[in-house]
Structure 1
Amino acid sequence: MNQYDIIIIGAGPGGLTAGIYAGRQGTKNLIIDKDLAGGLGREVPEMENYPGFDKISGLELVEKMKEQAIKNCDLHEMENVEEIIRTDDEYRFTVKTDKDAYQSKIIILATGSSHRQLNVKGEEEFRGKGVSYCATCDGFFFAGRDIVMVGGGNSALQEALYLNNLGANVTLIHRRGEFRAQKHLQDMIKKEGIKTILNATVEEIKGDMLVESVLLKDNETNEMKEVPTNGVFISVGYMPHTKLAYQLGVTLDESGHVIIDKSQKTNIDYVYAIGDVCIGLKQWVVACGEGAVAATSAFEDIQN
């Protein structure tokens, strides 16, 4: 069975950074991801707040980070971790995947998150038929067409701007009276003349073979209104992937996120967590910082 000093589960920005730092410390390390490296970061259409780049897409930055990571550690993409078993040996953990099994002294959980759903009628029925959670994946198909973007955070406004640039006729819908996104993004929405509907929730997504409209509820008057649209893009937050954390006995907070200390340690010895699976700010640069901290702290654990 292959043995490693550190196994990092998840190859998003945090996991890749942890791999870079761990490898440069002289340890033997493995990153495993059930998908392609980058996670949800691959979907970011454009970033203007990542240090060192005026503008860069998530996919472009992922590829740069991946190239750097594989110089410093092993990377296994498209391999799903099914179980982690704690042992009393020097290699404290056995990691079982759908392809192989590995042993490790340290585990870093970088399992990330997935798109939160609206959980309304028609959402599942029209997934891939007008309902999407990824503007960079599907936006091209909606050039020149009417779409609604649901959400009020940074991601929702970034994707609304991206879709608008593709030539889609975008309407931004948010359940509150004001957006939660950065002022810069809100100013851009106004500058581009993107239509907004505030204090409204999507109650149903309707259509025949494809999406044709959304049913909106005015949260102030309870009035219902049907809005024609060819597509519904949803960006209303994320659900942390904590199956493996729960399996290991890691403590979670009320929202289901992993609780960590300033060294990224969980309540389980030699188990760390970083990125979107943890409590804290959901930002690319934060995940990278946490990856560096976790890898450095893990190295100190190995040395002791």
Structure 2
Amino acid sequence: MYDVAIIGGGPAGISAALTALHRNKSCVIISSAPEDSMLFKAELIDNYPGLPAITGADMLRSFIAHAKASGAEFLDGRATSVMPYGTSFGVAVGNDFVEAKALVLGIGASRAKGFPGEKEFIGYGVSYCATCDGMLYRNKKVAVVALSSDAEEEAEFLRSIGCEVEYFDSKRAKKFEITGESRVEHIVADGVSYPVSAVFIFRPSIAPDTLIPDLGLDGSKIVVDADMATNIPGVFAAGDCIGAPYQISKACGDGNVAGISASRYVEALAKPAEV
């Protein structure tokens, strides 16, 4: 079990990890491919102290190298669900599972709302993990909505186990709706309905309230206090996912606070209860 699990490998997540590591806490950073990050795509950044005129890709590589050199472990993949276990949290990452005493969310700004019907059919044909759920739909027709760099790899896995894949990238369709009675029966893409048994959606990250049910939100923003604590004890959030301004230096500052708060939370768990 880790002391702190951090979902998101951007500036906020890296900053939280470095802060917790410097307080002798074990950390794992759960993150999809760096290429999916908005920072990675930035052509030029010239307002971050000490790193003038740097590309987003080079900045992110530098952050990741720093975290690794400081002892952070990385788990490549997409966190699909968080389960509270009393004084710890379980995080599902594809077929992997991580347990930690505290959790920091650095998942970036929510760039899109879920599709109509998506939330209603989670567990009834909507999935975010091909290796987890693909075998349930072997020899059936499924849809893949490709919004992340690993979507084609996931689609190929589905094909390899016998699924007939209807593949949608941003060039093929922009708007989606998932329909059915008690289970997924169709995906409607730009007004055209396709019969499918399941819809696999691959985004760089999952919407916060899908990842952690009952998480306090203000619109798409995660609600936190001055310590970066959410409404769920032991869960903290930092960076663009808590709102503007959407600046790297601000995200790093948020991450620092979240790392401190998560470390203090872990330390409090270790203290004997007062009688």
- Relative to the length of structure 2, the TM-score reads 0.61
Aligned partners of 2:10, 2:59: CA distance in 1, in Å?
A: 11
Q: Aligned pair 1:285/2:272, yes or no?
A: no
Task: Report the more deviating stretch, 6-15 or 279-288.
Answer: 279-288
Deviation by residue 1:154-189 (Cα, 9 ceiling, x = unmatched) = xxxxxxxxxxxxxxxxxxxxxxxxxxxxxxxxxxxx
User: Structure 1's 96 and 241: CA in aligned 2 closer, same or farther, altered over 3 A?
Assistant: closer
Deviation by residue 1:193-252 (Cα, 9 ceiling, x = unmatched) = xxxxxxxxxxxxxxxxxxxxxxxxxxxxxxxxxxxxxxxxxxxxxx99533566341111
Aligned partners of 1:114, 1:261: CA distance in 2, in Å?
A: 19
The ranges of structure 1 where at least 4 consecutive aligned residues each deviate by more than 6 angstroms after the TM superposition are none
Q: What corresponds to 1:75 in structure 2?
A: 74
Aligned partners of 2:49, 2:16: CA distance in 1, in Å?
A: 18
2:103 to 82, 88, 107: 107
User: Structure 1's 283 and 31: CA in aligned 2 closer, same or farther, altered over 3 A?
Assistant: same
1:62 to 48, 60, 63: 60
Aligned partners of 1:33, 1:292: CA distance in 2, in Å?
A: 18
Matches for 1:29-108 after TM superposition, within 5 Å: 29-36=27-34, 39-72=37-70, 73-77=72-76, 79-88=77-86, 90=87, 92-108=88-104
User: Structure 1's 20 and 126: CA in aligned 2 closer, same or farther, altered over 3 A?
Assistant: closer
Q: What corresponds to 1:258 in structure 2?
A: 222
User: Structure 1's 109 and 267: CA in aligned 2 closer, same or farther, altered over 3 A?
Assistant: same
Deviation by residue 1:261-297 (Cα, 9 ceiling, x = unmatched) = 1111111101001111112311111111111110011
Q: What corresponds to 1:173 in structure 2?
A: none
8 Å CA contact retained: 2:8, 2:108: yes
User: Structure 1's 83 and 111: CA in aligned 2 closer, same or farther, altered over 3 A?
Assistant: same
Shift of 1:48: 1.3
Matches for 1:200-219 after TM superposition, within 5 Å: none
8 Å CA contact retained: 1:11, 1:37: no
Q: Percent identity over the alignment? A: 25
Aligned partners of 1:126, 1:38: CA distance in 2, in Å?
A: 15
Larger Rg: 1
User: Structure 1's 95 and 296: CA in aligned 2 closer, same or farther, altered over 3 A?
Assistant: same
Matches for 1:216-255 after TM superposition, within 5 Å: 242-244=207-209, 247-253=212-218, 255=219
Shift of 1:84: 0.8
